Structure formats: C-alpha cells, structure tokens
Structure 1
Amino acid sequence: MSKDDTSAAQGHVAHGESRRPLTLRDVSEASGVSEMTVSRVLRNRGDVSVATRERVQEAAKRLGYVPNKIAGALASSRVNLVAVIIPSLSNMVFPEVMNGISKTLEDTELQPVLGVTHYLPEREEKVLYEMLSWRPSGVIIAGLERSEAARAMLRNAGIPVVEIMDIDGEPVDSVVGISHRRAGRMMAQAIVDAGYRRIAFLGTKMPLDHRARKRWEGFSEVLEQAGIGVADTELYEGGSGFAKGREMTAAVLERTPDLDFIYYSNDLIGAGGLLYCLENDYDIPGQLGLAGFNNIELLDGMPRRLATMDSCRREIGEGAARIIASHAGEGAQIFGEQVDLIPTLDPGDTLRQA
C-alpha cells in the first residue's frame, strides 16, 4: 500500500484533502491474503480457515472497510439516499430534527433513510456498517462520541459526513449543533443571578448520554465558581416521562427539603416535577424554581410554563441537510464545515427574574 493510501486508510486526512472509499485491495494488502479470499470472508462464503478469517475481519475493522452491496449494479456506486442515524425515536428531540432534514431535502433528489442506535456504541457500529454498505450520498449522525471502528467507517466512506446536535468535541468532517457545556453554563448563570442558592440537578445517568453530561459539566462549573456547589442530585435510567419526573422530584425534596431550585436534564421530567410541586402547594418560582431543557411544544398546555432552553432542533436538521445537499457528488473530501447555533433561554413561569 502506498504512503498516500496508508494515510487515507488510517484516517489521517487534512482539511480539503481528497478521500476515497476503501476497496477489497486495501483489506487484501492489510491482511496479507488475496482479494478473492477477502471477498469470501466478508461475504461469509467459501472454505476459509479460522485464522485467516479472523485476520481479514480484524484488518477490515481496523481500516473501517464496509463492503459495497451494490457494486456492479450502479455505475456510480452511489444511491440518492442520505443515511440519518439517531439514538432514539421515543426522545421528542429527534422528530423535529428529522422534519428539518426532510423539508430541506424535499427539492433535491436525495432521500433520508433512518437508523436508530438506542444510545449503544455497538448498535451504532452495526447500523452504520449496514447503511454505508448501500453507498449513500451522505451521512447525518447524532453526537460526536463514538467507537474507533465507527469513526474509521465515517472517515473512509468517501462521502460528506455531518455530525449533529453537539459541537463540543472533534468531528470527523462537518458538524452542526450547539455547545451543551455553554447551554449548561447559561442556565446556571441565570439561576445564580436570580438569587437561588440551594440547587439540585435531576437527570439521566450519563455514561452514554454525552450531551446531558456536558450540560451538567457546564452547569456545575458555574455553580462552583459562584461558591455554591450542587446541593443534591437524583439520576435515573430508562425513558423520560412525567411519572419519572414526579418520582424523582418527590425523592429529592424529601431528602433535601430546603432546596430552592431544581434543574432537570430535559423538559419531560421537568414537567413531571412541576406538576408534583403544584399539587403539593409549592410557591413557584418564589419558594422553589424549576427549569428543564429542549423547549418541547408538548408542554405548551401546562398550567405554568417551565423555564427551559431551545436546543435549535429544526435548525440543526436544516443545516445538516444543506451541507449534504451542497456537497453530495463533489467527490471524497473533508469539507469541515462547522455551524455553531446559540440556544435561547426562556424563563417561563418557573424562574424568577433577576
């Protein structure tokens, strides 16, 4: 393999430098076996020794090679599909992102196709592998944190890649989103400025919810700088919902009754907490302030408007789709566009004004 091929295969690609999809020959040279043997292994056909099979599979994974299921069927080896990979269908954030993508692609020949990872890195690898094997014209994928195998597949796909929702990290190619650390800092500063001092955080257990983790990091950073710190936390696993918010709010207020503010990692559990507090005659926002995140429309009918922050969901979808549409078919390059959107804080009726 030449020096240039080795650099591309390993993903050391500078801004504006050409890329190309990996081939059977790359895997053949990396594993030291013939292209025919590589093809047999990757198609799971033919009599190949266990040792050879493992060597080929390891080389393919290391390089980020994805077999082309439509090779020979289309001269261009590309289809007018955009792979859109998100972590959840139940999370109310992503339908609006999808609406932005779909609306922007309506006047093009490109069609979005959806894959769901359930926040699991191994599931993301599988979904990405299958979707890239159909040679789409671009990839839109949520988040920045992923396995090295997934990053290798994206780096060497030879198509525009846009990572969305989050800009706090190192993208493979282009990125459209908000800074979740900045969002956490903005909310914390508003709470401190309003005079609240006994503050709790309620949210998801965060090893795999990287965006919630970054908001928490920014939030706690500002509180520490103000000499306040976090008075209590309550974390959960599984889906978000009103019932979960009620349960968590009851638990934290029983444990730490002198709290004067609760910051929730999303609006759904925040809305459940708000209903609990209103039913138990808390003075909102005087005695106790509340805030969530995402500004979802579902909460417009609540008896009080929950303080929240818009996560720019539709704008993220639109921006990502515009990048894919403008670069699809231009050849394998790193375009490196970055769109940093600024969320808006809405104090609603649950965050008193400074």
Structure 2
Amino acid sequence: MAGFDPPGRLVTLTDVAREAGVGESTVSRVLRNHGSYSKRAGERVAEAVARLGYVPNRLAGSLAGGGAGTGSGLVGVVIPSLANIVFPDLLRGLTAALDGTGMQSVVGVSEYDPDREEALVAALLSWRPEALLLTGLEHSPGTVSLARAAGVRVVEMIDTDGEGIDRVVGFSNRAAGEASARHLLARGYRRIGYIGLDPGSDRRGGKRLAAFEAVLAEAGLSLVGREVREGRSSAAMGRAGFEALLARHPDLDAVYFANDDMALGGWFACLAAGLAVPERIALFGFNGLDFTEAMPQPLSTIRTPRLAIGRAAAACLTGDGPARIDLGFDLIEGATA
C-alpha cells in the first residue's frame, strides 16, 4: 500500500524457536497442540510467543495440511446487509457460539447482489476457511458451484423452503406468510393491502407474500392493493409506502408489511393522520425486532429466531447433526392487529 510504513519486521516461527531455545518443529507442535513435547518446552514456547507478539500463520498451516478446511480456523460468512438488525443479531448468535472453539468468523456483505455474493464467496474460499455460511437458499449458479467444490461444510441460514447445498438452518418463510394471513382473517379483516420490496430481489419476502396470497385465495379473497418499493427498507420507506397505498385504496382495513421497519413507518403515518390502530386499520409486520415491544402499541408480527439460527449454524460446524434444522417462529399478537 502506497505510503504504508510497517512498524517492524514480521515475527516468524524461526524467531520464536530462537527465543525459546528449541527447534522449529517443537514450536510447531506446541502451537498446534499436536505431537510430543515436554512441559518445559511448552512453557518456554508460550513465554517466547508472549514476549515477541508472535501470531501463527494459520493460512500457511492450512495449505500445508493438504486442502481446504484443514486448520485455517476461519469461518467465511456472507450476509446481505448490516443495516438490517436481523443480520447483526444472527452474527451475535454465531460468534458467541464460536467463542472458545478456536474458530473466527470473516464476514462479507453482499448488499443483496448475487454477483457480489459470488465474488465474496470466491474471495473467502481463497483463504481456505473451515466452513462457509451463506444467507438464504437462492444463489447464482457460480456461487453454488464454488460452494459445492470447496470441500468444506456449507451452511445456509434463515430459510428452509428449498433444496440446500449441504446444511440448512432457519425457518419456513412460507409458513410465516401463511400464519400472518390466517391471523388477519381470523380477526375479521378482509380488505388487506401489502407493502414491501420487489419479490425478485427480496426472495424470502417473496415466499412469504406468495404464501400469504395463497391463504387469502383459499378464503375467496385477494390483496386489494400492493405498494412495492425499491431500495433499502426503512421506517421512512414504510411510511411513504403506506400513505401512497392508502391514497389509492382508502377503504383498506389491514396492511401486511414485509418487515417491522416498514410497519413502524406505517404506524407513524397512522399517528400523523389520526387513524386509529387497529380500529380503523390494522398493521402486521415481520421479524419481531426489539423495538416492536416498546411501541405504545406493541406491533403484531412474526418473531424470528435470529440468535438461535446463529448458534445452530455454529453447531453444524462442530458436529454431524441433521442436514436440515427448522427452528420455527412465534406469532406475536401484539396490539396493532
């Protein structure tokens, strides 16, 4: 890098061996905790490592081991966003579960772009990780090919509706959409609208919407209207979408939102317009984010097991459990529907 002046020479395994007064092979055995060495030798190596600030070259150890996933200690993770709290929650569950295992996560953010996801997967695999964790079940053909050829455990998270590459951990988005529709119908709502993102880019939201509409069709109904927005979901987007949808369909009695962020925006719009919730219009979200319980009217929504998904994904890396783990979800009745 231009202008970068390293503070000092990289400490090598040879330096540690010289400092500890042992051979390099002994240092290697101590650091890998593999093979025979005396207690005193182990202590001397540990002391030398601490004095010199030596960091083992895990990548070199992995390559020397003869293939991917044989000692790098890295877990490659690709998520679509850091702006959506769903994914930081998932990472919290994952990293907490990895603590103490000797494995560390390396995270890439795809911004919901399949081509970017593929490039990130290729970059992560070049570091020979122990495992690869992906979000969702829909990927580019190139990503699927890379993951299948990597020779490491692959875990796909958050969705169970479809075929997986290796291990799948999450919940059924279709079942979540069905449960949402049945809840609104059971409460007597019949003129229902939808606000969300393009189902082509929000694949999991598209699955929920399709299942929601299928339940309405079974009851002889259909969505009265829908407002599909482009960009990153937010409360501001939800408010603008709600106002646009209600302007076109003022007789709606309920709105189903793709997520809680947008549902919060809908609630703000109702507050500003003096619309009683749920008496005049009901609001139903998705994800069960923490703020939904703190609202003056707790949001009616689906709570997803984000931390548990992260923990279960980590468990897949250290065991031979089931190939598919469905952790389900909770329907939160709340006070808005």
Given that 2:62 and 2:128 are in contact with CA atoms closer than 8 Å, whether structure 1 keeps it comes out as: no
Q: Does 1:342 align with 2:328?
A: yes
What secondary structure is seen at the aligned counterpart in 2 of 1:318? helix
In 1, Cα distance between the equivalents of 2:152 and 2:230?
Answer: 36
Correspondence for 1:184: 177
2:167 to 168, 174, 187: 174
> Which residue identity lines up with residue 74 of structure 1 in the other structure?
A
2:64 to 62, 74, 78: 74
Correspondence for 2:141: 148
1:255 to 248, 252, 256: 248
Q: Does 1:104 align with 2:97?
A: yes
Equivalent pairs, count: 276
Correspondence for 2:206: 213
Structure with higher RCO (Cα < 8 A, 6+ apart): 1
Residue ranges of structure 2 left out of the alignment (5+ in a row): 1-58
Q: CA 1:72 to 1:171, structure 2 compared with 1: closer, same or farther past 3 Å?
A: closer
In 2, Cα distance between the equivalents of 1:163 and 1:350?
Answer: 33
- Residue 181 of structure 1 and its aligned partner are, at CA, apart by 0.6
Given that 1:205 and 1:236 are in contact with CA atoms closer than 8 Å, whether structure 2 keeps it comes out as: yes
- Residue 76 of structure 1 and its aligned partner are, at CA, apart by 4.9
Correspondence for 1:19: none
In 2, Cα distance between the equivalents of 1:183 and 1:248?
Answer: 22
What secondary structure is seen at the aligned counterpart in 2 of 1:114? strand
Q: Does 1:313 align with 2:306?
A: yes
Moved over 3 A (4+): 69-74
Q: Does 1:85 align with 2:115?
A: no
Q: CA 1:72 to 1:186, structure 2 compared with 1: closer, same or farther past 3 Å?
A: closer
Correspondence for 1:235: 228
Q: CA 1:72 to 1:315, structure 2 compared with 1: closer, same or farther past 3 Å?
A: closer
- Residue 247 of structure 1 and its aligned partner are, at CA, apart by 0.7
- Percent identity, please: 38
> Which residue identity lines up with residue 64 of structure 2 in the other structure?
L
Render the CA deviation track for 1:123-174: whole Å, top value 9, x for unaligned.
Answer: 1110000100111001111011111211111111111111000011110001
In 1, Cα distance between the equivalents of 2:82 and 2:60?
Answer: 28
> Which residue identity lines up with residue 174 of structure 1 in the other structure?
R
Q: Does 1:162 align with 2:155?
A: yes
> Which residue identity lines up with residue 304 of structure 2 in the other structure?
S
TM-score after normalising by structure 1? 0.75
> Which residue identity lines up with residue 162 of structure 2 in the other structure?
G
Given that 1:70 and 1:135 are in contact with CA atoms closer than 8 Å, whether structure 2 keeps it comes out as: no
Render the CA deviation track for 1:209-237: whole Å, top value 9, x for unaligned.
Answer: 11000000110000011011100000101
> Which residue identity lines up with residue 343 of structure 1 in the other structure?
F
In 1, Cα distance between the equivalents of 2:312 and 2:269?
Answer: 38
Q: CA 1:154 to 1:72, structure 2 compared with 1: closer, same or farther past 3 Å?
A: closer
Q: CA 1:76 to 1:110, structure 2 compared with 1: closer, same or farther past 3 Å?
A: farther
In 1, Cα distance between the equivalents of 2:195 and 2:63?
Answer: 52
TM-score after normalising by structure 2? 0.79
Given that 2:125 and 2:150 are in contact with CA atoms closer than 8 Å, whether structure 1 keeps it comes out as: yes
Return the index of the structure with the highest Cα Rg.
Answer: 2
What secondary structure is seen at the aligned counterpart in 2 of 1:112? strand
> Which residue identity lines up with residue 124 of structure 1 in the other structure?
E
Correspondence for 1:58: none
Q: CA 1:252 to 1:76, structure 2 compared with 1: closer, same or farther past 3 Å?
A: same
What secondary structure is seen at the aligned counterpart in 2 of 1:245? helix
> Which residue identity lines up with residue 315 of structure 2 in the other structure?
R
CA RMSD of aligned residues (A): 1.5
- Residue 336 of structure 1 and its aligned partner are, at CA, apart by 6.1
Q: CA 1:116 to 1:183, structure 2 compared with 1: closer, same or farther past 3 Å?
A: same
What secondary structure is seen at the aligned counterpart in 2 of 1:146? coil
Q: Does 1:128 align with 2:121?
A: yes
